[in-house]
Amino acid sequence: MKKEFKELEELRLKESLSIPSNYVKIRDVIDDYAPTLLATIMMLTIKKDGSIDVISDREYKHVDSILDFYINIDAQRVQDIVESKITENLKETGGFSHETSGSLSVFISQKYGIRIVTDGMHRLIKAFLCGVDELAYSIEKVMPEDMTDKEMTTCEYEFLKAKNSRNAQMSTTEQNRVAKASGNMSEKQKFYDETFKKAGIHVNGYGAVADITTPTYTAGHEDWDRHLRVESSAYHVGITDFCKHSFKPLIKFGTRNCSIDIPISWILVNIPSIRNSFLTWLGSDDFLNKNQAWWFRYAMHGRSIETTIVRLLCAFNEQYRNSHEKNIIFVEMISFLNTTSLETKHFAINCLDRKISIIEAEERSKDSEVARLNKILGID
């Protein structure tokens, strides 16, 4: 064991000066792909000057500085870093725990003399954010010097893909589908099925039979349930009003994305004065040419429906104002606005009350966020 550790140490000391740009340190990953995460962590009351425990059985494990590990951004899902899960996990544990995190999976590149984390990027991020100096790891593969850069990336990607496939947990949507198909529905899932049937919609195995005359969705059981059945929900409309005002329009204008169609339904039910002109706008290029993700951009965690309602109303109002030189939507029409994030509230006020264009309102939001983060980080 000691001989093996010595050989690895010699390999680390031979780190190349010409490492490809797709191999980066963990600080670069955070800066480029999760830029707001550091400021968020600073606001948490967790241990930030090291781990909450020690590496057990250290003498039997590979251990190195977290600054010595590399991430291959071409092989890892850096675009899918889930900041909310990272913060929630750290809040639950009170900081970084070696015991619950386990060891990283690492490939050694003999060509570049580096350690590459092939499974454990989120763990490495959490360790860095909490000021942890060292992490334990297991060596899964030593890639020889004659491997091309492309072969290295392919090798790392295939390893991660296979490991995720073995360890994959079913999403909530898939759990709901399997429960229905196997006849093992919970009481809540039975409510889903009954509610969606009454409303005439299909949500991944639940409700009405899926066909061209049925609004059909691959996910969103909980959101649709809150929209149709849960009266305490900020975006509840009820089955009766949905069937009366929203069902047919969604067949014609629906996007098959619940994060957009539920907001459309809320608007049709709650702001009757604009129904006809709003439906006309839904068929226009002004609506259809926007990337779907734009509608719920900057959404507060768990509040994407409300955010999309606000952005739909602001975009529709801007198109109307450009044609008629006056507003058709006003802030007081948005009943839940005070419960949304400050960013969403300010966006609505800027676009509606102050009659600022959406482009300028977004720029102001960006400037405000940069200023807020700079203040938190102590940057002038």
Per-residue model confidence as pLDDT tens digits over 221-234: 999 999 999 999 99
Q: How many CB atoms lie within 10 A of CB 52?
A: 17
Number of CB atoms found within 10 A of residue 15's CB? 14
Percent of the chain with pLDDT over 70: 88
3-state secondary structure 104-168: EEEEEECCCCEEEEEECHHHHHHHHHCCCCEEEEEEEEEECCCCCHHHHHHHHHHHHHHHHHHHC
β pairing state of 202-203 and 206-207: antiparallel
Question: Is the per-residue pLDDT at 4 higher than 50?
Answer: no
Contacts of 263 (CB under 8 A, 6+ apart): 235, 295, 305, 308, 309, 312
Report pLDDT for 380: 56
CB 266 within 8 A of CB 227: yes
217 DSSP β-pair partners: 203
Q: Among 55-59, 84-88, 363-367, whose mean pLDDT is lowest? A: 363-367
Distance CA 179, CA 257 (A): 22
In the predicted model, is pLDDT for residue 141 greater than 70?
yes
Contact 182, 147 (CB under 8 A): no
Q: At residue 79, does pLDDT exceed 90?
A: no
d(CA 146, CA 227): 58
Question: What residues have CB less than 8 Å from 365, skipping those under 6 apart?
Answer: 298, 343, 346, 347
**What residues form DSSP beta bridges with 63?**
136
Residues 130-139, mean pLDDT to the nearest whole number? 94
DSSP labels for 2-49? HHHHHHHHHHHHT--S---TTEE-HHHHHHHH-TTHHHHHHTS-S--S
pLDDT band at 339, cuts 50/70/90? confident
pLDDT band at 370 (very low <50, low <70, confident <90, very high): very low
Tokens of 340: 């949304």
CA–CA dist 111, 319 (Å, integer) = 57
Region 248-255 average pLDDT: 95
What pLDDT score does 373 carry?
Answer: 47
What amino acid is encoded at 274 in this protein?
Answer: I
Residue located via tokens 């947990």:
169
Residue type, 16: S
pTM beyond cutoff 0.85: no
For residue 374, pLDDT beyond 60? no
pLDDT at 306 over 90: yes
CA distances to 40, 46, 81, 90, 368 from 84, rounded to whole Å, are: 10, 15, 9, 10, 21
Taking residue 3's Cβ as centre, other Cβ atoms within 10 Å add up to: 7
Average pLDDT, the chain: 87
> Is pLDDT larger for residue 138 or for residue 171?
138
Distance CA 339, CA 345 (A): 9
CA distance 113 to 134: 19
- The residue with tokens 């349930």 is 225
Least confident of 37-46, 137-146, 154-163: 154-163
Q: What angle do CA 157, 129, 162 make, to 5 degrees?
A: 20
Question: Going by C-beta distance under 8 Å and a sequence separation of 6 or more, which residues neighbour residue 297?
Answer: 307, 311
Strand, coil or helix: what is 70?
A: strand
Closest CA to 217 of 182, 255, 243: 255
Residue 341, pLDDT score: 79
At 12 the pLDDT is 47
pLDDT at 154: 87
The answer to whether 22 touches 71, Cβ cutoff 8 Å, is no
Distance between CA atoms of residues 250 and 261, nearest Å? 7
Over range 50-74, report the average pLDDT: 91
Mean local confidence (pLDDT), 233-245: 96
User: What's the mean pLDDT in 355-369?
Assistant: 78
Per the CB < 8 A criterion, the answer to whether 271 and 333 are in contact is yes
What does the pLDDT read at residue 340? 84
Strand partners, 72: 23
